[in-house]
Amino acid sequence: MTMVEQSIQTMPMAKALNAGLRKALADDPKVLLMGEDIGPLGGVFRITEGLQAEFGKTRVMDTPLAESGIVGTAIGLAMGGYRPVLEIQFDGFIFPGFDQITSQLAKLTNRHEGTISMPIVIRVPFGGHIGAVEHHQESPEAYFAHTPGLRVVSPSTPHDAYWMIQEAIASNDPVMFFEPKSRYWPKGEVDLSSSNAPLHASRVAREGTEITLLGYGPMVNVLLSAAELAAEEGTSIEVIDLRSLSPVDYGPIVASVQKTGRLVIAAEAPGFASVGSDIAATVTERAFYSLEAPVLRVNAFDAPFPPAKLETTYLPDVDRVLEAVDRAMAY
C-alpha cells in the first residue's frame, strides 16, 4: 500500500469531524471544546465521542444548558488566548445565544480596532431530513451570513468536514460552522494528507456545460443526484458546492455561469432574504450578458419548519430541482 493510499480513508462525516477535532486538540493546547453533553456522551450526534477521555475535562467541557452563557464564556476565553470550539446541540437552540454572537462576538475585533481577535468556532448541526420535532430542524444560516464580522461555512462531504473544521479553528476570526445533520452518516473518502481547497473556496463538484446548479451543505448531494438523472435525459449539468456562505467565492460561480448560461440555486432554508437571494443578485450583476435565462431558486417554503411527517413536502428534493432545470432550459 502506497503512502497516498494510506492517507485516504472512508468514513462518515460524523467521524471525519471527530478526527478533525482530535487533530486540532492534539496540535494546539489552546483549543478547547465546550457544549451541552459533549463529554462522556460525546454529543447528541456523537461528534465528540471519546475526546474528553483522551484530552481531559479541562479541554473538552460539558456546559450548563445555557447557550448565551456558553458563547459569553467563550468570548472571555478567546480574550485570554484560547481557541474555543462550541457545539450548539441543535440549530433551533442557537437563538438564546444570538445576542452574544451578533452583538459581541461579531463586533469585538472591530470595536478594538483589530487589537484583539476572536478565534471562536461555533458548530451548528442544521437542516432537516432526520424526522425531529420543533426547534430541532432549522436553517438559520442567513442570519449569520448577514452579520459583518462572522465567517460562515458549511461542508457537504466527509473530506471537507475533516479539513474545514481544522481550518476554521485556525482562523483568528469567529466562524459559524454549519454541519448538515442529514449528511452525518453517509460515508465518503477523506484524504488525510491534503485539503484540496481553502476554507472559503467554492468548488466544482461535477463538470457540465448546459446549466449550473449551486448549493451548500445538505443540498449538494441532492443536486448531484439531480445531475445524474438529467444526464440520462441528455442534459449536461454542472454542480457547484458553495462551501463558504460568507465570504462567498464568486470566481468559480461566475465562470460556470459564463460557460453554461443558466443558474439554479437550491437550499433547505426559506427563500426570502436568503443566501441564495444575494448570490442570485450578484451573479446577475457580474454575468448578466452570459445569462440565457433568469437565475432561479429552489427553497423550502416561507413557513415554519413543519412536523416531521411533512418535511419531505417542505424541503426541496430532486424533483423540484429538476422542475427548475426544465424551466431554465425552456428559455
Residue 197 lies in a domain: no
* Domain boundary, last residue among 138, 167, 191: 191
Are 168 and 309 contained in the same domain? no
Task: Look up the pTM and report it.
Answer: 0.96
Could you tell me if 28 and 54 are in contact, meaning their C-beta atoms sit under 8 angstroms apart? no
* 130 and 219 together in one domain: no
230 is written with which cell numbers?
438529467
> What range does the domain containing 223 cover?
203-329
- 176-193 burial: b if 16+ Cβ within 10 Å, else e: bbbbbbbbbeeebebebe
Does 171 share its domain with 259?
Answer: no
136 catalytically annotated: yes
231 and 302 together in one domain: yes
The verdict on 27 and 117 lying in the same domain is yes
- Same domain flag for 133 and 243: no
In this structure, are 63 and 84 located in the same domain?
yes
Contact 263, 257 (CB under 8 A): yes
| 92, 30: one domain | yes
126/260 same-domain check: no
Residue 29 lies in a domain: yes
Domain boundary among 137, 167, 191: 191
Q: What CATH number does the domain containing 74 carry?
A: 3.40.50.970
> pLDDT in tens for each of the 331 residues of the chain?
455 557 899 999 999 999 999 999 999 999 999 999 999 999 999 999 999 999 999 999 999 999 999 999 999 999 999 999 999 999 899 999 999 999 999 999 999 999 999 999 999 999 988 777 787 889 999 999 999 999 999 999 999 999 999 999 999 999 999 999 999 999 999 999 998 899 999 999 999 999 999 999 999 999 999 999 999 999 999 999 999 999 999 999 999 999 999 999 999 999 999 999 999 999 999 999 999 999 999 999 999 998 888 999 999 999 999 999 999 999 9
Structural domains in the chain (count): 2
- Same domain as 178, residue 59: yes
**Options 112, 135, 136, 146, the catalytic residue:** 136
